[in-house]
Structure 1
Amino acid sequence: MSIQAPSSTEAPPCILPRRDRTPCAGCGYTPQRAYQDRTKYRSQLALDFVGRDIATWTIGADTLLKDSSAAQGGNEVDTLRFLRRKAPELPTPDVKATWETGGRRYIVQDRVPGQTLGAVWHELDLSAKVRILDQVVGVIERWRTFTSGKMSSVTGGPVESLRWWSTGFTPWGPFRRKRELFAYFEAAMGDCPEVVRHMLWRNMPDCRPWTFSHGDLHVYNIMVEDGNLSGIIDFATAGFYPVWWEYVQLRLACGAKPDHEWKHMLQLRMKDSCHEAEGAMRWAKVCDELAFLPDGVTNAAVAWLREQFPNERLRRYEAIADVRPGNDQNEGGELQRGDGLTAKPESKTTATKAYLARWRAKLTTRHGCWR
């Protein structure tokens, strides 16, 4: 008996009917529903998270596959292995395998049990939040015992961190001296006036010892289970940074609720143990603000510095910047500039006030946690 191929108009057996061929949004899997129900197979591969250029898949109950661009996050595997070796008592995922192909990086690692802190934050009472906070602070204090002679990744190479004014990961370093790190900040400020650069350098806090920091402790990188910390994930930005870096990142890389509430609690706990915490925070805020200044807005830069560093003597800076405290007017009703010249009331000194108001409103919207 001859076997005839099915005609083009009828579907082969065990193939999804055309009316139900919509593929799975996660993996594109399209088996025939009725046929699948008759088998004993149930997939243990599930899409867990999708980001801008990253996805994580759960393999069974205990394993995670991380798929990301090979162009960034290259230090994460080395960092995880470093922590497993140096502090095996901490809840750090164990890397089982890693490889790169087709411009993608794949990491197979332990799956941290539980849910993200952000997913359950509003379900936790205050005692549970404080308990998790204490546990996270304990982990951070253990991390801070790891120091280095330079700002770098755990292997001694560049770090890949979100800078305060950046929208993406940028490799930078390694730096052995504070001056090298400041030069990197300085280059990002464009045409920022020399007097402002000089003041920032004078007020830059000491960076040593270069201390191990996670750098991205938001609520979706903290895993909890049954009201307790079960692990911390996403070490793509981790490395050795200035001793005050972790504290500063909590403030300048702060998101909306519940991240704002969480980081505020964590910041208060870290304030006493972090070297030069408040001075570093003030200095970092100025750097971040200046990165958004249009080129040549010298008045706004000096006005902001005067507010942030009230104890500094700014007379010679104000003279160069054509700014005088209080914007005093002479008898003719004209504004007196720092160089002794006069200008009409509608000069750039007046415009600077309006500019600063718009500028601060924009930054308050961008970083709600600064309020």
Structure 2
Amino acid sequence: MSASVPIQDSVVQISPSTWCLGCTVQCDRVAEPDDTCTAAWRDGEDWYTLRPVSEQPAPSEKSPVATPADSHEVSLIHTGGTLSAVWAIGNNAICKVHHWSPDTTSESETIKFVQKMAPQVPIPKVITSWVDGERSFLVLKRVPGITLRDAWGTMSASQQDSILNEVVHCCEILASITSERLQDVSGGPVLEPYLAHSGKDSLEPLNVCESKEYFFRVDLHPNPEIKERFHLYHPDLGPGNILIYDQRLAAIIDWESAGFYPHFWISTKPSVSRGLDFCPPIPGIDETEWRKRLRMKLQDRGYPRFAEWFMEWRKSKSR
């Protein structure tokens, strides 16, 4: 799919029960799946199926009968500027569309890696994924629940502590999986703008020696210790990426930026990232409460915090 097509038009409806996901995959609501579909899942009394777009003439992106999908069945539920969008497909699946480049590890690969290496960590199940031109498509099983942001104000103090402990336990499970390099799960760049060079979204893989040189500043003291191993970490543990069901952790979502990071980053990231605040703010609650408590709990578990050092280091990277 061409980047000239707005990201929010990546999914279009071409009939009451048929949608095009990009240019190459067709989604149908049917009574029963058949052998021609590449993926299928039940939704109530019906099924949704995916198959390659028919060889018969199909509506083009400019066809007057192809309209942006935004109905009660397939609806746009989130946009991330011009680079990403998310649709709900019925009640049991979502479709995530992202800008894609060849050096980027797909979220589906990262999820599959985490499911294999850390099956205790609750994450959505991948139904299928594919690349269509300059965009990646990921269809996931929808996880029942609401975001931590929406649940937080209804929870008791003990329930909040329980969720915090569950998330930190997941961090510890992930951190026990290590690598010799700072990299994503496939050995490519990590999608972490906070650590990247100024103006870039990702940081190229670094070995231990390269990392020590990259993070060291002679005018800053103390510099964080760069250890011999890097730790698997989800650096975007904001309240919108944590799903709660029945006051328990149901899933951690949005794994695009997960990878192997320095030990110090596990506690430092929630110290410095406003992206982990409650957004929108919850009336009567400090918008930084979640990330402060997350950072403190991670520090208690032995992950050092270098927030002040990081802010000065980051200034030097932008010069």
* Superposition TM-score, scaled by structure 1 size: 0.60
1:291-332 deviation line (CA, Å, top 9, x unaligned): 46xx6xxxxxxxxxxxxxxxxxxxxxxxxxxxxxxxxxxxxx
CA distance in 1: counterparts of 2:189 and 2:235, whole angstroms: 14
Aligned residue number for residue 61 of structure 1: 91
Contact 1:63 1:110 in 2 (8 A): yes
How far apart are the structure 1 equivalents of 2:301 and 2:72? 48
Aligned equivalents of 1:264, 1:153: Cα separation in 2: 26
Partner of 2:290: helix, strand, or coil?
helix
Which residue pairs with 1:263 in the alignment?
291
SS in structure 1 of the partner of residue 240 of structure 2? coil
Which SS does the other structure have where 1:142 is aligned?
helix
2:259 match: 239
The Cα RMSD (Å) is 3.1
Aligned letter for 1:267?
R
Count of residues in Structure 1 that have an aligned counterpart in Structure 2? 249
Paired with 1:183 and 1:170, the residues of 2 have a C-alpha distance of 20
Question: 2:220 & 2:210 partners in 1: Cα distance?
Answer: 14
Which AA in structure 1 matches 2:77? D
- Judged with a 3 Å threshold, the aligned counterparts in structure 2 of structure 1 residues 165 and 81 are, in CA distance, closer, same or farther, namely closer
Q: What pairs up with 1:187-202 in 2 under 5 angstroms?
A: 197-200=217-220
Q: Where does structure 2 lack aligned partners over 5 or more consecutive residues? A: 1-7, 17-45, 47-70, 282-286
Tell me how far apart the structure 1 counterparts of residues 161 and 198 of structure 2 sit (CA, whole Å). 31
Gap change, CA 1:167 and 1:99, over 3 Å in 2: farther
Q: What pairs up with 1:15-164 in 2 under 5 angstroms?
A: 44-52=73-81, 53-71=83-101, 74-163=105-194
Indicate if the aligned counterparts of 1:164 and 1:252 stay in contact, CA closer than 8 A: no
- Specify the structure having the higher radius of gyration (Cα): 1
Report how far residue 236 of structure 1 moved. Answer: 0.8
Deviation at 1:74, TM superposition (A): 3.0
Tell me what 2:223 maps to: 203
Code of the aligned partner of 1:270: L
Letter matched to residue 312 of structure 2: V
- 1:162 deviates by 2.1
Q: Which runs of 5+ in 1 are unaligned?
A: 1-23, 33-40, 187-196, 296-371
SS where residue 144 of structure 2 aligns?
coil
Classify the secondary structure of the residue corresponding to 2:131.
strand
User: Per-residue deviation at 1:266?
Assistant: 0.7
Counterpart CA distance in 1 for 2:144 and 2:199 is 29
Shift in CA distance, 202/91, structure 1 to aligned 2, threshold 3 Å: closer
Q: 1:226 to 1:25 in 2, by over 3 A?
A: farther
User: Matched residue of 1:170: which SS?
Assistant: coil
By percentage of residues, which structure has more helix? 1
Quick check: 2:105–2:184 contact (8 Å CA) kept in 1?
A: no
Return closer, same or farther for 1:157/1:74 CA change in 2, 3 Å cut-off: closer
Q: Is the 8 A contact 1:210 1:241 kept in 2?
A: yes
1: CA distance between counterparts of 2:165 and 2:223? Answer: 32
Q: Residue 73 and residue 228 in structure 1: after superposition, are their counterparts in 2 closer, same or farther (change >3 A)?
A: farther
Structure 2 length-normalised TM = 0.68
